[in-house]
Structure 1
Amino acid sequence: MATTQQASTKQDILQILLKRGQATAQELAEGLEISPQAIRRHLKDLEAEELILHQSVVSGMGRPQHIYKLSKKGRDRLPNNYDQFAVSFLNTLVDTLGYEQAGSLLRKHWERKAQEYRDRLGDVSLRDRVIKLVELRREEGYMTEYFLLDENNVQSNHSSQFMLTEHNCAISHVASSFPSVCGHELEMFAATLEDCQIERTHWIVNGEHRCGYLIKAQDD
């Protein structure tokens, strides 16, 4: 029972680091509501397994503080919906049809996906569509969140600026080999929310810990 609980806590630590990008032992302890001593034991084990790494940061006159992040091995340990089959399939597609035509097929796939999203989002406010889009992406294996940027409209359904954030990439292996799929994903969001401007602000493929998209109503 204790071993199962420890494994669960370690998984929770990995999930928090995936979502936040980095955290101190104290922040992790507070987030999981367990003692800093217990957190440090788990962190030591996770570092020994090469699932996390740390850097020391000096602040003021105090002792250096350890900031913990996921390693690539730790990121790969977390649940995802991608595998090597997709990469192998795309390689075969490129070898058979050529890169340009394979890219055209990928674009058609994202266009169909955008149409599917539009049909499921319906004709509602932008805020409601963003909320529904987040739900759909979560169903597909993405750790997706949204943040309201125009704070004056927190209680309003007429909010016009959002940040959509995805803390993992369900097509990470594909994106590493075929970065163009990320461009198609941006096009897909733009086609899904046709009355908005969509701008990528963060990109996992570039080494950042999340993908981020700024969503703005066209009349802003």
Structure 2
Amino acid sequence: MKYVGEAPQEELATGEHSTRNRVARSILDHGPSTVSDLAKRLGLTQAAVRRHLDALAADSVVEPRDQRVYGSRGRGRPAKVFALTDCGRDAFDQSYDQLAADALKWIAASAGGGAQGEAAVAAFARARIAAQAESYRKSVDDAGPGGRTEALAKALSADGYAATARGAPGQQGEQLCQHHCPVAHVAQKFPQLCEAETEFFSQLLGTHVQRLATIAHGDGVCTTFIPRAAPQTAIPQTAIPQTATPQTTDHASESTAGRNPA
């Protein structure tokens, strides 16, 4: 490890992290680059550039490649160039949120706008959740009765939601907390995304759930309350009213659920 007293003067002026970002940005702006190219553009020594490239490669931000040579190639091996990986490109500004919002606006407008447009966006949101349903369902179904919420949290975390499950203070149930939402900016404009997710949680866990907070609404965490299933108590046989064999009448199909026996 090199201490501050041993660092080159250009790194003392800009700082390690800032210089590393400049190296990556130069590759983004100019394409795959050699160590020599980067050193000239940034005013750094080649040794300093190599050290930053090694760190960026260790973080999967850049990767070395053989330089493409067009036309006749001279003697010797082609120079190595460094290019950004997909992970490296994702670290820079992206327009995915705007693209998604524009697509949903188009869906709403194409459906006629108003209530019809909102219904079309809601249908898209449900279809999006359905595409993820199988992996989530398997995780929850494989968990024991007391571990279903925890299993869902782990499945959500695998998709980038940084989810946890914990007991709800003072309530008979659990809280599913999502500390990150990859679609929060879009969900601010289209709450149907959050509503479809809540519906899916309810279907998946087989119980009514209540969304208490969402990142899209400005809260720090997306929080969903999941009530704990009440234990079923066996009803004594003597407490079950004995009824006569039903006779066929014009009202035989009428529901009697919840009524007191005559």
- In structure 1, stretches of 5+ residues that fail to align are 7-76, 152-159
SS of equivalent to 1:162: strand
Report the CA distance between 1:109 and its aligned residue.
2.9
Could you say which residue in structure 2 is the equivalent of 1:19? none
Seq. identity, %: 24
TM-score, normalised with respect to structure 1: 0.53
Greater Rg, structure 1 or structure 2?
2
Code of the aligned partner of 1:86: A
Q: Does 1:94 align with 2:108?
A: yes
TM-score, normalised with respect to structure 2: 0.45
Is the alpha carbon distance of 1:217 and 1:111 closer, same or farther for their aligned partners in structure 2, counting shifts above 3 Å?
farther
Instruction: Note the alpha carbon deviations across 1:6-48, whole angstroms, 9 max, x for none.
Output: 9xxxxxxxxxxxxxxxxxxxxxxxxxxxxxxxxxxxxxxxxxx
Could you say which residue in structure 2 is the equivalent of 1:204? 215
CA contact (8 A) 1:113 1:188 kept: no
CA contact (8 A) 2:213 2:221 kept: yes
Could you say which residue in structure 2 is the equivalent of 1:216? 227
Q: Does 1:167 align with 2:186?
A: no
Instruction: Note the alpha carbon deviations across 1:124-149, whole angstroms, 9 max, x for none.
Output: 32432222211111111112111124
2:149 to 123, 130, 143: 130
Structure with the larger helix share: 1
Structure with the larger strand share: 1
Report the CA distance between 1:166 and its aligned residue.
1.3
- After TM superposition, what 4+ stretches of structure 1 lie above 3 angstroms from structure 2? 1-6, 111-116
CA contact (8 A) 2:125 2:192 kept: no
1 CA distance for matches of 2:195 and 2:16? 41
Report the CA distance between 1:200 and its aligned residue.
1.1
2 CA distance for matches of 1:148 and 1:5? 40
Report the CA distance between 1:112 and its aligned residue.
4.4
- In structure 2, stretches of 5+ residues that fail to align are 5-14, 19-90, 232-262
Code of the aligned partner of 1:141: G
1 CA distance for matches of 2:212 and 2:121? 27
Is the alpha carbon distance of 1:122 and 1:90 closer, same or farther for their aligned partners in structure 2, counting shifts above 3 Å?
same
Could you say which residue in structure 1 is the equivalent of 2:197? 185
Is the alpha carbon distance of 1:86 and 1:168 closer, same or farther for their aligned partners in structure 2, counting shifts above 3 Å?
same
Could you say which residue in structure 2 is the equivalent of 1:119? 138
